[in-house]
Chains A and B, each alone.
Chain A
Amino acid sequence: MTDPLMIFDLLLALAIVALAVASLSVRDLFSMIVLFIIFGLLSALAWVRLSAPDVALAEAAIGTGVTGALLLKTLHHLRYVSGTLGQQTALGVTPVAPVPMGIILANAGFCGLITLGLLVAFLGAPATGPGFDALVAEAMPQSGVEHPVTGVLLNFRAYDTLMEVVVLLAAVIAVWQIERGLSDAPAPVMGEVWQGFARLALPAIVVVGTYLLWVGAEAPGGAFQGGAVLAAVGLLLLLTRAYIPQPAHRGVARGAFVLGTAAFALVAILVAGGGRVAFEYPLEHAKTLILLIEGVVTLSIAVTLAALFHGREPVALSEGGRHDT
């Protein structure tokens, strides 16, 4: 007897692979992005089916929501610099800038190596067995939180999570470096209905993002998911032009980018001593410290993602006129 959910899972897996192939093979950039967003949503569903709601939330919020917005914003910018803004013609892959064959081959090579490595890791891993569930469950009382995923991410393997925050910081530093010379594409006028929706959604997003952060201690959620949802506040503010980045705000923005990494690293180092190593929080303060780190990191992630969406350092020279290439 076939399990109906088995059929659903098979269809879902097929759809995900088909969407991945379609988004790689379609020639129109807009269709490509839309297909990628649907691919991300179905991947999130797949994570739910794999009983990994934390990953599903992250995939839906960061992998699909924020990344989709970033890609669409990039497409808007590409259309602006290539002079095809407002034209109905689909913007294909080829005319933007031909990618040298060497780069394509190198990328294909590296992707192939990663796939190969994953395959080896997958084949090398024990097919059945308890995994780390028992170990984590055993150590949970020492973590300071009730949700195993948060315990692993913020306590047992906090170093990895710190590195993830550093990656985001590096990304925003790189974006602020390379986009200096380009001017903004004009923001599309979205109309009153959109403005009304944004006004309605903004406070709700703030509540949902904070809730995701808070609930991370005992249920799926946490800094990355909450931060991505809060980044949507930044996106809405930028899109409705309720907030226009000013060069004078750069100091605050830089502070917010670094805040998460700095506070995380500082706490990790300060708890060391008296027989403890770095990242080994004292048990009685573990929950407070984890919540402190998560709160600060959430703020940093939200500001960083919103800044990535804005895409460039707000420099004074762009105010006067065009400086696009």
Chain B
Amino acid sequence: MVELAAAVLIATGTLFFIAGTVGLLRFPDIFCRLHALTKADGLGLALIALGAALLAGTPGAVFRIVLIWFFVATASATCGHLVARYARQSGAGGGAP
């Protein structure tokens, strides 16, 4: 039962990652791409981390997964912000605000 729930969560998370990647490849400018990537991947990551935490055996492992989720999430949000900030300041966005 727990394995099934974990599998469903991880599969759903993977779908979000695929959606984010499609957005990265298909969207016209850097801001739309970032929008697709950061949001979809953020959710995908959370779902995969949740699935992995369900499968983890010990509280210590769950704690590590939570830590990894937290820092990857904040790091990718910060990276998205930095890329957008640089693009906006240098005018690389291609006509976006």
Contact = CB atoms under 8 A, between A and B. Distances in A.
Nearest to A201: B71
Contacts of A193: 78, 81-82, 85
B74 A197 contact: yes
A201 B72 CA distance: 11
B33 to A, nearest CB: 15
Contact of A88 (B71, B74, B75, B90): B90
Contacts of B82: 190-191, 193-194
B74 A194 contact: no
A197 B75 contact: yes
A163 interface: no
Contacts of A197: 74-75, 78
Nearest to A191: B85
Interface residues of A, number: 10
Interface in A187-221: 190-191, 193-194, 197, 200-201, 204
A204 B78 contact: no
A86 B75 CA distance: 24
B8 to A, nearest CB: 18
A86 B81 contact: no
A69 to B, nearest CB: 13
A201 B81 contact: no
A200 B74 CA distance: 9
B4 interface: no
Nearest to B92: A88
Contacts of B67: 204
Interface in B46-92: 67, 71, 74-75, 78, 81-82, 85, 90-92
B90 A86 contact: yes
Interface string A10-38: 00000000000000000000000000000
Contacts of B91: 88
Contacts of B71: 201, 204
Contacts of A88: 90-92
Nearest to A86: B90
Most chain A Cβ neighbours within 10 Å, of B75, B78, B92: B78
Interface in B17-54: none
24 contacts: A86-B90, A88-B90, A88-B91, A88-B92, A190-B82, A191-B81, A191-B82, A191-B85, A193-B78, A193-B81, A193-B82, A193-B85, A194-B78, A194-B81, A194-B82, A197-B74, A197-B75, A197-B78, A200-B74, A201-B71, A201-B74, A201-B75, A204-B67, A204-B71
Interface of A: 86, 88, 190-191, 193-194, 197, 200-201, 204
